[in-house]
Every structure is written in C-alpha cells, then in structure tokens.
C-alpha cells in the first residue's frame, strides 16, 4: 500500500532485524527505533550485513522505560511491529527488572499508537505466555495461557505473560479503533545477523564451543527467525488477524542431546565439541537450590512440550521451514561469523 509506514521497535534485535530486512525486500516504507541515537549507525550496518539497503530506513530514538520519543516514533505510522522486549542471559533477582519494561513498555507503545491513529499493532509475545505453569494434556494452542501465579515459572516467563495480558486488556478497554495481534514464538533459531546473539543462538554456540560437558534431560522447541518475521508481516496485513494470537513453531520439540547430534551430523568437525552426554536428573535437582539456571531446568525435567501452528497456517497461510533447517542455519551462521572455536 502506498500510504503504508511500518514502525519496528527494538531495531537492532534478532527478530526486529529480520522483520526490517523482510519489509525492505517488500519495498515497504519503514521506521525503526533504537534506545540510543548512536545505535542508528549500528542498525544500518547490520541491515547492510544482511544484504539489504538501509537507504530508505528511518531511525527514531525511544526507550521502553520512557514516554519520550514514542509519539514521534509512531507519527504517521499505519502499522507497528512491537518487537522490543528484554530477554536476559540470566534471570534477575528482582523480577520487576523484566516485568516493568516488558509490561509498561508495551503499554507505552500501544498508547502512542492509539493516539497517532495507527491501524494495527503486532506485539511479539512468546510461547512463554502460553505453555508454562500448566499443561492441557495435548499440544498447546493459542487458547492456552501461562499461569503467572505459578511458583515454577521464571521472571522472564512471568514478564511475557503479564505484558501480553496487559496489552489485550488495554486494547479492550481503551484502545479505540486500534487493532492488536500477537505472535508467540518458541525458541527462535535461524541465521544470525552480527554478533549480538539471541538466547537460543547462545545455547547453540555454547554447545558448539564445548561449554557443557553434558546436557540435562530437557527439550526446546524451534522456529526459524525468517518465519517469525514472515508471520509478523502476515499478522500485520491480513484482515482476519485482528484480535488474534499466533503460535510460531516448527515441528516437535528437540531434546537438547538431539541438537548436538544434528549439528555433529551436518557440520562435522566444527561441531565435534557439542556434547551428547546427558546429565542424570538427580544432578540437576541437587544443583537447583544453589544455581538459578539449574532450578529453572529442574522444574521442566522430562517434560516434553509440543505446540501447534495450525491456526497460523489455516488463517494466514503460514508454512514454517523444517525445525532442522532453523537450527542448522543458526549453527552455520555462528561458524561463518567466526564465533565457533576452530
């Protein structure tokens, strides 16, 4: 559409970058936000690294913790992809360090979008807001919600759940004509752009570099970041997407050991450090009282979680790449970036 202008928040993030590149390939007018003005040049350099031309990309400065910048950021925008949200390498002691920017940041963006007459916001939520603290006894779908009162969930999981709940509540109560859709990805893999890695890619890099002598008996779901970007664009444009949640997942969950086996089979010597040993459950449980990461893993031991992308396929025609391709594309990009030890 000639009058379309899309704002992408958190422009230098893994998912946001792929959304930006996808929209540039479509010829869409774009604006992206960064937290600090000096990051504008970094963003353009990353877009070039991805093989796209950033000449038509506007850059605005806005922070999730501050109202300033958002009215100017959304000015003239027809759609917003609100991708920005904190994802820590380690869980903080004070969960408000995650909850406040995730929830209040989403509300800032939604409020500014409503006031500027934006048609639709697509919020990047997470499977974290769907599949924890409960289990329906079947594949998870968009009808499911994480129980934020559960004692077994992490601050990150709680932050994503509360942020998405707050977004739906805001649009329902005071959103006016503003439409909302959410995309709820599982673990996001696919090719890295630059060396600022997502949590899922950090996991692969740790495996490839032999950081772990063994892995726990746990699982991780996968989806390719390029498919996540594609789903954002479909949810932004399709008339039937308004008011809907969309799970982004490709196939069944991987066991951690399966990740190593896949990379060893396809990458050969570059993946020889990826362990295939499995930690006994009692070791993880023994470490849980002392190590935060072990406490999180212990709560999920032996729990295989599978989810369905039937809704995104049926309503939006979305078809993700195979889960193996998502993981291998990520692993190969880590090798190409020189991050894997020779």
- DSSP helix/strand/coil, 299: coil
For residue 93, indicate whether it is catalytic. no
- DSSP helix/strand/coil, 26: coil
Of 178, 114, 169, the C-alpha closest to 145 is: 169
Q: Which of 93, 160, 211, 311 is catalytic?
A: 160
- DSSP helix/strand/coil, 215: strand
Give the HSE-up count for residue 127: Cα atoms under 13 Å, Cβ half-sphere. 24
Handedness of CA 320, 326, 330, 336 (dihedral sign): negative
Q: Give the containing element (helix H, strand E) for 43.
A: helix 39-49
State the Cα–Cα distance between residues 128 and 155, nearest whole angstrom.
10
- CB-CB neighbours of 94 under 10 Å: 9
- CB-CB neighbours of 10 under 10 Å: 24
- DSSP helix/strand/coil, 121: strand
Report residue 62 as tokens.
């806005």
In whole angstroms, what separates CA 288 from the centre of its chain?
Answer: 26
- DSSP helix/strand/coil, 184: strand
φ/ψ (deg, to 5) at 222: -135, 150
State the Cα–Cα distance between residues 142 and 115, nearest whole angstrom.
29
Instruction: Show which residues are catalytic.
Output: 160
């Amino acid at each position: 559409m000639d009058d379309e202008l899309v704002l992408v928040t958190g422009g230098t993030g893994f998912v946001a970058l792929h959304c930006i590149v996808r929209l540039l390939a479509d010829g869409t007018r774009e604006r992206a936000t960064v937290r600090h003005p000096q990051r504008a040049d970094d963003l353009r350099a990353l877009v070039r690294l991805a093989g796209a031309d950033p000449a038509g990309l506007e850059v605005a400065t806005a922070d999730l913790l501050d109202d300033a910048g958002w009215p100017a950021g959304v000015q003239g925008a027809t759609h917003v992809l609100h991708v920005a949200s904190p994802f820590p390498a380690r869980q903080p002691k004070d969960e408000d360090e995650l909850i406040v920017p995730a929830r209040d940041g989403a509300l800032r963006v939604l409020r500014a979008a409503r006031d500027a007459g934006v048609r639709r916001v697509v919020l990047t939520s997470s499977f974290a807001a769907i599949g924890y603290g409960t289990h329906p006894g079947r594949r998870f779908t968009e009808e499911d919600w994480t129980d934020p009162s559960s004692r077994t969930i992490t601050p990150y999981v709680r932050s994503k759940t509360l942020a998405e709940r707050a977004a739906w509540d805001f649009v329902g109560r005071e959103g006016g004509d503003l439409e909302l859709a959410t995309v709820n990805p599982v673990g996001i893999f696919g090719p890295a752009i630059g060396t600022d890695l997502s949590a899922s890619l950090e996991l692969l890099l740790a495996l490839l570099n032999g950081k772990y002598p063994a892995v726990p008996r746990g699982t991780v779901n996968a989806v390719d970041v390029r498919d996540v970007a594609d789903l954002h664009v479909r949810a932004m444009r399709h008339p039937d997407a308004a008011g809907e949640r969309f799970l982004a997942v490709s196939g069944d969950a991987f066991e951690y050991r399966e990740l190593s086996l896949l990379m060893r089979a396809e990458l050969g010597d570059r993946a020889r450090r990826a362990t295939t040993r499995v930690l006994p459950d009692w070791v993880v449980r023994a470490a849980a009282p002392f190590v935060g990461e072990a406490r999180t893993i212990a709560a999920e031991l032996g729990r295989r979680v599978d989810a369905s992308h039937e809704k995104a396929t049926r309503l939006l025609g979305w078809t993700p790449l195979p889960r193996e391709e998502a993981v291998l594309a990520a692993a190969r990009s880590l090798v190409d970036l020189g991050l894997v030890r020779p």
